[in-house]
C-alpha cells in the first residue's frame, strides 16, 4: 500500500517488537482463512523490548505515570473483503478476554488518519475530534515529529477511519496532537482507553462476557 517498510523479509510488515507481542488472529469459521489480526504488547514485555511502539512516535511519560497495568494494541489489519462489524466485534471480543485474563487497566496505541493533500485531511479530522475527545492537559503526549499545521485548514466532510471510529465508540480518548508517520504516509494520534470506563453497552458485549 505504498508504505516504506524497514523489513528483512520482502513484502512483510514486521519489526523487532513482534517476538515480544501476543498476536490475536481472526479466522473465517467456514474456511479457516486468516481475515484479521492485531498484536498486544503488555508493559512487562515492553520493558524487555526497550519500550512500547508508541514511544517511537510520542513522549508518553504523563500517561505511563497513571497507576495500573498497560497493554498496547497495534498493527491491526483486516482483509479487505471482511472489513465489517462482525470482524471488528471478533477482534474486540478477543482483546476483552485478554484484558480480563491479564488484569489490564489501560489500553494504549496509535490510530492512523490519512494525510490527504499536504496533510489537510488529517488536520481537518483532528480539528473535528479534538473538542470532544482530547484528554485533560495532564494526560497529554508530545509527538516527536508533529504533523505540520496548515493555515488553510480544509473543512471538508471526511469519513472517520474505521479503526479510530471503533476506538472512540468504546470510550477511548486522544492524548494530543498527531504524529507525522512518514513511512506509512499517515498521521497517528495516541489513544488511551481506561478499561474501567468503557462505554456501558460495549462493556456489556465485550468485557462482561469475557469475565
Question: pLDDT tens digits, residue range 20-62?
Answer: 999 999 999 999 999 999 999 999 999 999 999 999 999 999 9
Q: Could you tell me the pLDDT band of residue 132, with boundaries at 50, 70 and 90?
A: very high
Structural domain contains residue 162: yes
Per-residue CA distances from 36 to 28, 74, 160, 196 (Å): 9, 12, 20, 26
Residue 11 in any domain: the answer is no
How far is 156 from 207, CA to CA, in rounded Å? 36
Strand bridging mode 142-143 / 34-42: unpaired
- CATH number for 100: 3.40.630
Q: What is the pTM of this model?
A: 0.88
Which region among 58-67, 137-146, 157-166, 191-200 has the lowest average model confidence (pLDDT)? 191-200
**Helix H or strand E encompassing 121:** helix 120-133
d(CA 62, CA 142): 10
Does residue 6 lie within any of the structural domains?
no
* Residue 8 lies inside a defined structural domain of this protein: no
In a domain, 5, yes or no: no
Domain total in the chain? 1
Does residue 13 belong to any structural domain of this protein?
Answer: no
What digits encode the pLDDT tens for the residues 64-118? 999 999 999 998 889 999 988 788 888 888 888 899 899 999 999 999 999 988 8
The answer as to whether 4 is a domain residue is no
pLDDT at 149: 82
Tally DSSP H helices, then E strands, for the chain.
Answer: 7, 9
Furthest-apart CA atoms within the chain: distance in Å: 51
**Per-residue confidence (pLDDT) for residue 97, from 0 to 100:** 87
Distance (Å, whole) CA 57 – CA 148: 15
Q: Which residues contact 74 (CB under 8 A, 6 or more apart)?
A: 17, 21, 38, 39, 41, 53, 54, 109, 110
Residue 134: domain span: 18-210
Confidence at residue 209, expressed as pLDDT on a 0 to 100 scale: 57
Cell readout for 37 is 489480526
Residue 28 C-alpha cell reads as 473465517
Residue burial 19-47, b: 16+ Cβ < 10 Å; e: rest: ebbeebebeeeeeeeebbbbbbbbbebbe
Amino acid at each position: 500500500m505504498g508504505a516504506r517498510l524497514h523489513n528483512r523479509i520482502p513484502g512483510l510488515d514486521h519489526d523487532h517488537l513482534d517476538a515480544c507481542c501476543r498476536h490475536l488472529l481472526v479466522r473465517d469459521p467456514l474456511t479457516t482463512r486468516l481475515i484479521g489480526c492485531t498484536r498486544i504488547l503488555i508493559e512487562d514485555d515492553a520493558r524487555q523490548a526497550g519500550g512500547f511502539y508508541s514511544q517511537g512516535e510520542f513522549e508518553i511519560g504523563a500517561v505511563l505515570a497513571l497507576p495500573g497495568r498497560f497493554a498496547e494494541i497495534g498493527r491491526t489489519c483486516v482483509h479487505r473483503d471482511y472489513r465489517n462489524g462482525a470482524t471488528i466485534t471478533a477482534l474486540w471480543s478477543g482483546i476483552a478476554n485478554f484484558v480480563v485474563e491479564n488484569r489490564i487497566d489501560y489500553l494504549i496505541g496509535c490510530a492512523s488518519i490519512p494525510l490527504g493533500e499536504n496533510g489537510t485531511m488529517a488536520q481537518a479530522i483532528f480539528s473535528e475530534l479534538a473538542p470532544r475527545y482530547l484528554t485533560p492537559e495532564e494526560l497529554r503526549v508530545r509527538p516527536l515529529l508533529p504533523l505540520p499545521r496548515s493555515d488553510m485548514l480544509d473543512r471538508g466532510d471526511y469519513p472517520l477511519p474505521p479503526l479510530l471510529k471503533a476506538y472512540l465508540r468504546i470510550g477511548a480518548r486522544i492524548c494530543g496532537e498527531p504524529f507525522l508517520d512518514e513511512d506509512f504516509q499517515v498521521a497517528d494520534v495516541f489513544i488511551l482507553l481506561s478499561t474501567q470506563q468503557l462505554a456501558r453497552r460495549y462493556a456489556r458485549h465485550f468485557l462482561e462476557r469475557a469475565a
